[in-house]
């Protein structure tokens, strides 16, 4: 796992100075927390028929487990770091909108891949990230049913269950395995964008894959199992940890237009390298979505 003994290095954040030692502690705390709370998801997964409600669309699901896991994560973080800001998927849905500021901010998705969780398709993950000064410092994506913990610290590399991971070396789009998601919206403009991008890319790549979890798709790029991933319609909590894991695995993260990545923009393009991203972005059709 990443660590640093240089506890004298001090980094400015919005509300207080954070040392590398602080981030070491946060990293360890976060790894322990997702492992502990992930057991709740495993236990709930054993129930075959799961109750769910819908949120933004008829295929955007939330379960009692999403809310309970988010509360367990948020309560533990608030107890340990009472002056840090919290942004959570389910809290946001309840109307607790939280701006991203320079302050140390935890961004929490209790179950990324809720549709998978409802269907017992074993690709769901807790996504937990700490951002400070609008920069990702710590990112964890934990698939508890498969006991896979992807983790990264800024400048410290990316890991799967403690072993270093790296993106693939694929630079040619014609050789690429590309991940994408249809997403949880049935908005016609969004679906036209998804269909158009599929049609544009499909004849030019090796193939498409989808895991049904944005966070796990990004981790698959980070570990070199896929070469790129793009999606429209995401939220900050889907991407906050995964983008750091991709970058720390040596990958490239940008906006789907090729511009700088913006966590609140609802879209992302991750690739094994900038060469691959620059072949993809001109081919993608875009859709305007309200910012987070
Ligand atoms: C969902 C992702 C899914 C993606 C959706 C959404 P949720 O997150 O897992 O892969 O296509 O845009 O972000 O709602 O399950 O946390």
Kindly name the residue from 112, 217, 227, 292 that is annotated as catalytic: 112
Q: In which band, very low, low, confident or very high, does the pLDDT at 2 lie, cut at 50, 70 and 90?
A: very low
- Percent of the chain with pLDDT strictly greater than 90: 84
Q: Is 59 annotated as a binding residue?
A: no
Per-residue confidence (pLDDT) for residue 16, from 0 to 100: 63
Does any ligand 1 atom lie closer than 6 A to the CB of residue 66? no
Per-residue confidence (pLDDT) for residue 58, from 0 to 100: 93
Tens digit of each residue's pLDDT (9 = 90 or more) over 36-95: 999 999 999 988 888 899 998 999 999 999 999 999 999 999 999 999 999 998 888 776
Tens digit of each residue's pLDDT (9 = 90 or more) over 82-119: 999 999 988 887 766 778 999 999 999 999 999 999 99
Does any ligand 1 atom lie closer than 6 A to the CB of residue 214? yes
Kindly name the residue from 60, 217, 238, 292 that is annotated as catalytic: 238
Distance CA 163, CA 25 (A): 19
Domains and CATH numbers, the chain: 10-164 (3.30.540.10), 173-283 (3.40.190.80)
- In the predicted structure, residue 18 carries a pLDDT above the cut 50: yes
Residue with tokens 């993809």: 280
Cα four-point dihedral sign 95, 101, 105, 109: positive
Q: Nearest residue CA, atom 3 of ligand 1?
A: 213
Which residue of 214, 226, 233 sits with most ligand 1 atoms within 8 Å of its CB, as the best mutation to test the pocket? 214
Tens digit of each residue's pLDDT (9 = 90 or more) over 112-166: 999 999 999 999 999 999 999 999 999 999 999 999 999 999 999 999 999 999 9
Does any ligand 1 atom lie closer than 6 A to the CB of residue 238? yes
A 10 A CB-CB count for 290 gives 5
Per-residue confidence (pLDDT) for residue 225, from 0 to 100: 98
Q: Nearest residue CA, atom 10 of ligand 1?
A: 213
Q: In which band, very low, low, confident or very high, does the pLDDT at 6 lie, cut at 50, 70 and 90?
A: very low
Of residues 137, 92, 97, the one with CA closest to residue 110: 92
Per-residue confidence (pLDDT) for residue 20, from 0 to 100: 84
């Amino acid at each position: 796992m990443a660590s640093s003994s240089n506890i004298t290095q001090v980094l400015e954040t919005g509300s207080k100075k954070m040392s590398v030692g602080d981030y070491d502690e946060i990293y360890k705390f976060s790894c322990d927390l997702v492992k502990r709370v992930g057991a709740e998801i495993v236990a709930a997964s054993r129930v075959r028929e799961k109750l769910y409600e819908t949120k933004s669309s008829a295929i955007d699901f939330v379960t009692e487990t999403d809310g309970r896991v988010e509360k367990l994560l948020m309560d533990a973080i608030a107890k340990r770091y009472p002056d840090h800001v919290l942004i959570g998927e389910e809290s946001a849905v309840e109307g607790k909108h939280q701006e991203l500021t320079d302050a140390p901010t935890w961004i929490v998705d209790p179950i990324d891949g809720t549709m998978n969780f409802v269907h017992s398709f074993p690709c769901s993950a807790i996504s937990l990230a700490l951002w400070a000064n609008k920069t990702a410092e710590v990112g964890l994506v934990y698939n508890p049913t498969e006991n896979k913990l992807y983790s990264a610290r800024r400048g410290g590399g990316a890991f799967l269950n403690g072993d270093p991971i790296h993106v693939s070396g694929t630079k040619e789009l014609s050789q690429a395995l590309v991940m994408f998601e249809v997403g949880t919206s049935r908005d016609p403009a969004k679906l036209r964008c998804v269909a158009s991008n599929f049609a544009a890319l499909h004849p030019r790549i090796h193939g498409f894959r989808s895991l049904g979890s944005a966070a796990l798709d990004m981790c698959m790029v980070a570990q070199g199992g896929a070469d790129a991933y793009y999606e429209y319609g995401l939220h900050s909590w889907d991407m906050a940890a995964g983008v750091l894991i991709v970058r720390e695995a040596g990958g490239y993260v940008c906006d789907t237009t090729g511009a700088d990545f913006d966590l609140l923009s609802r879209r992302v393009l991750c690739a094994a390298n900038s060469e691959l991203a620059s072949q993809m972005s001109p081919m993608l059709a875009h859709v305007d979505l309200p910012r987070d």
